[in-house]
Structure 1
Amino acid sequence: MSKLVELFCDVDDFCKVFIPQWRKQLLEDGTRKRQKEGQREGQMTTYEIMTIVVSFHMSYYRDFKNYSLGYVSLVYKNAFPNLLNYTRF
């Protein structure tokens, strides 16, 4: 679990720098888009999603479905209270 916390902190630090710069670089097509200030209740944050994806690539699992269903939903259930099921992920 401590490696998950370390990974989450690294992803969080990266996202705090990257996402604002990335949003500045986005091209707009002229249509007005809603900016999300906060996440709706029941949704995972970008940091949580990226942490799970990076941890999948660091694991020995060959496909994300088995990793999500067989590992994340069992082992990390308490770490991610708003964990999406595999089909929503």
Structure 2
Amino acid sequence: MITRAKITESFCIADDFCKEFDNVTAENSQNTLTNHKTKNRKGQLSKSEVLTILICYHFGSLL
């Protein structure tokens, strides 16, 4: 059974990972399309929230 404590722990781990991943990819990426316009709308769920949902879905019977 999935408890709130395990969901919270999974979210914290996923959030730490996403922050570090974003920092590393920002340092190593090169923006080659300078004239390309992009929309900067923020999604409804953060990357950490999506990862937590996926973790709970895939390992639901183990958590």
Normalising by structure 2, we get a TM-score of: 0.64
Per the TM alignment, residue 8 of structure 1 is displaced from its structure 2 partner at its CA by: 0.4
Q: How does 1:27-66 map to 2 (within 5 A)?
A: 27-30=30-33, 31-34=35-38, 36=40, 39=42, 43-60=44-61
How well do the aligned residues superpose, as a CA RMSD in angstroms?
2.5
The residue number in structure 2 matching 1:20 is 23
Normalising by structure 1, we get a TM-score of: 0.48
What whole-Å deviation, never above 9, does each CA across 1:17-54 have from its counterpart, x for those lacking one?
A: 11121233345452535474x725xx111110111112
Compared with structure 1, are the counterparts of its residues 33 and 52 closer, same or farther at alpha carbon in structure 2 (3 Å cutoff)?
farther
Structure with larger RCO (C-alpha < 8 A, sep 6+): 2
Give unpaired runs (5+ residues) of structure 2: none
Q: Number of paired residues?
A: 57
Structure-1 separation of matches of 2:27 and 2:39: 13
- Runs (4+) of structure 1 exceeding 4 A deviation are none
Give unpaired runs (5+ residues) of structure 1: 61-89
**Is the radius of gyration larger for structure 1 or structure 2?**
2
Q: What percentage of residue pairs aligned between the two structures are identical?
A: 28
